[in-house]
Copies of this chain bind each other. A is one copy, B any other.
Amino acid sequence: MSESLDPDDWTAFRALAHRALDETFDALQAIRAGAPWREVPPGVKAALDADPLPRTAADPSAVYATFRELIAPYAVDNRHPRFFGWVHGAGTPLGVVAELLAAGMNANLGGREHAAVYVERVVLEWWREVFGLPPGTTGIITTGSSMANLIAVLVARRRAAGAAVRTAGLAGAGALVGYTSSEAHSSMGRAFDVAGLGSEALRALAIDARRRLDVGALRTAIVADRDAGRRPFFVAATAGSAATGAVDDLRAVADVAAAEGLWFHVDGAFGALARLSSADRELVDGIERADSLAFDFHKWLHVPYDAGAVLVRDGALHAATFADEAPYLLRAERGAAAGRPWFTDFGPELSRGFRALKVWFAMKAFGLDALGASIERCCALARGLGARIAREPELELLAPVSLNIVCFRYAFATDVDELNVRLAIELQVRGLAVPSAARIDGKLGLHVNVMNHRTTAADLDATIDAALAIGAEIKRAGRSQT
């Protein structure tokens, strides 16, 4: 056994592993005391970059020491309560346990007959129930909504173009076109690009004052495309836009899809989870009518990166989009090759990790009520933040607060875009808070995603106080230069 990759000295190895676990928890317990972002020092970058190809073995404790020195301190620290950039989940200590257990099992969820596939199935059933989709709905856990959106587009493409699209390609499919709003996530257009339809075949339609897909524009576009001989087949509503958290009127979009025979997809990366919040769930009413639904677990469910899922109402069509039979993947009635369907029948991957376990742990240990309360709290905090910004004469709200995202900027007299980017960067590099910068209707501003279960009202107030102080400082510096 000494030639295996198992430890020669299990006692020493276990001690190291326990130390790594404790120091991981130490870091999480101390997260608030640190900064939400620290620059990677040039010497650390150089040490990581210039590390030569490791030909000879090293003691695991030495490798861990390098990790502790060069890697662990320099995170984009989405765990921190004042990290508000983009749309990141915060993680949990429970997720660490679930991931170490999954790594220990080392299960391959492509298929076959083992307990792990039952876990993935029941997790997907639970979410089907949460979203009110009917029995027979199928699903698969993915790395996130980018892949989930792609899978949904491929199933819709399969419906529109027929079975031949899988073997013969798009050549005979005509000009398939789909619709979404200009607020949609870029992964929707990417899915059209990857699928060979082209990103422009997904029309980015106008939005209303609440930044929701303009349903009138949708109807008009469908007519125009049909008149031009194209084949409308798909509409993607957004439940929680990445830029502002806007949620399309899902019922209205579902009505148009039903009337026009379009596939109704919902990109609900984080917004779909508003379904768990008693106060906010009506925002996503109509989600139960989706033909397909993409959503993430690594955002508002806070499981460690990465995990998301897609659900597909027509399970048979879902399988017909991916299933095939390779001569080395024969199914059996008994034994290790039993169990069907295999997950590889529902997505493009043949080997798949046990992502389901961290979702199962989070759902069972936290419970959906508490997860919903956490989401509700975030939305309430975001509304409070929006109200404060509306009261501050130096600040300007860039979009209505629909869900949990607040976009605003400092009303500099000149160079307002450039100076707001500087404001965001100063907040980051001084270790005070991490908003990201985003462009809303051409205006550059700060994007605050209130998603972290560790964030309090005091964190948001401190962030605005700091933004006001740094904004004034930038303004003074500008004046002194002129």
Closest chain-B Cβ to A18's Cβ sits at a distance in Å of: 6
- Given A336-B434, A337-B436, A350-B186, are A63 and B130 also a contact pair (CB < 8 Å)? no
Q: Does A225 contact B (CB under 8 A)?
A: no
Q: Does A206 lie at the interface of the complex (its beta carbon under 8 Å from any beta carbon of B)?
A: no
The answer to the question of A388 belonging to the interface, with a C-beta cut-off of 8 Å to chain B, is no
| Chain B, residue nearest A407 (CB) | B328
Among A122-179, those with CB < 8 Å from B are 122, 126, 129-130, 143-147, 150, 154, 157, 164-171, 175
Given A18-B18, A150-B348, 5 more pairs with CB closer than 8 A = A57-B369, A143-B353, A168-B201, A185-B326, A337-B437
Residues of chain B contacted by A197 (CB below 8 angstroms): 169, 196
- Asked if A316 is at the interface (CB within 8 A of a chain B CB), the reply is no
A71 contacts chain B at the CB level, 8 A cutoff: yes
Whether B304 lies near A103 (C-beta < 8 A) is yes
**Is the C-beta of A72 less than 8 angstroms from some C-beta in chain B?**
yes
Kindly state the separation between the CA atoms of A116 and B122 in the bound complex, as whole angstroms.
33
Confirm or deny: A482 has a beta carbon within 8 angstroms of a beta carbon on chain B: no
Say which size band chain A's interface belongs to. Answer: 35 or more
Contact of A6 among B28, B73, B193 (CB under 8 A): B28
Kindly list chain B residues whose C-beta atoms are within 8 Å of the C-beta of A440.
327
User: Which residues from 229 to 266 on chain A have a C-beta closer than 8 Å to any C-beta of chain B?
Assistant: 242-243
In angstroms, Cα B368 to Cα A339, docked, is 37
Q: How far is the CB of A379 from chain B (nearest CB, A)?
A: 14
How far does the Cβ of A23 sit from chain B's closest Cβ, in whole Å?
9
Q: Which of B164, B189, B352, B453 contacts A143 (CB 8 A)?
A: B352
Binds B, one of A74-82, A215-223, A467-475: A74-82
Interfacial residues of chain A within 377-395, with CB under 8 A of chain B in the complex: 377
A304 adjacent to B106 (CB under 8 Å): yes
CB distance from A162 to the nearest CB of B (A): 12
Q: What are the residues of chain B within 8 A of A425 when measuring CB–CB?
A: 332, 334-335, 337
On whether the beta carbons of A108 and B78 are closer than 8 Å, the reply is: yes
Bound CA–CA A104/B367 (angstroms): 21
A159–B377 Cα distance when bound, in Å, is 49
User: How far apart are the CA atoms of A72 and B98 in the complex, in Å?
Assistant: 12
CA gap between A118 and B108 in the complex, in Å? 28
Chain B CB within 10 Å, residue with most, of A58, A79, A101, A454: A101
Closest Cβ of chain B to A315, distance in Å, is 16
Interchain CB contact under 8 A, B171 and A7? no
CB distance from A143 to the nearest CB of B (A): 6
- A39: Cβ under 8 A from any B Cβ: yes
Q: Which residues of B contact A24 (CB under 8 A)?
A: 100-101, 103-104
**Docked complex Cα distance between A66 and B168 (Å):** 47
Cβ-based interface call for A365 (8 A)? yes
The B-contacting residues of A in range 51-91, CB under 8 angstroms, are 51, 53-60, 63-64, 66-67, 70-76, 78-79, 85-86, 88-91
User: Do B101 and A51 touch across chains, with their CB atoms under 8 A apart?
Assistant: no
Bound CA–CA A363/B51 (angstroms) = 12
A436 partner, pick from B75, B92, B106, B336, beta carbons under 8 A? B336
25 contacts between A and B (CB under 8 A): A5-B94, A6-B28, A6-B93, A24-B101, A37-B114, A48-B115, A48-B121, A54-B367, A55-B368, A59-B365, A66-B364, A71-B357, A75-B115, A76-B108, A78-B106, A102-B304, A165-B193, A190-B322, A190-B348, A191-B348, A194-B194, A243-B328, A298-B351, A330-B444, A332-B424
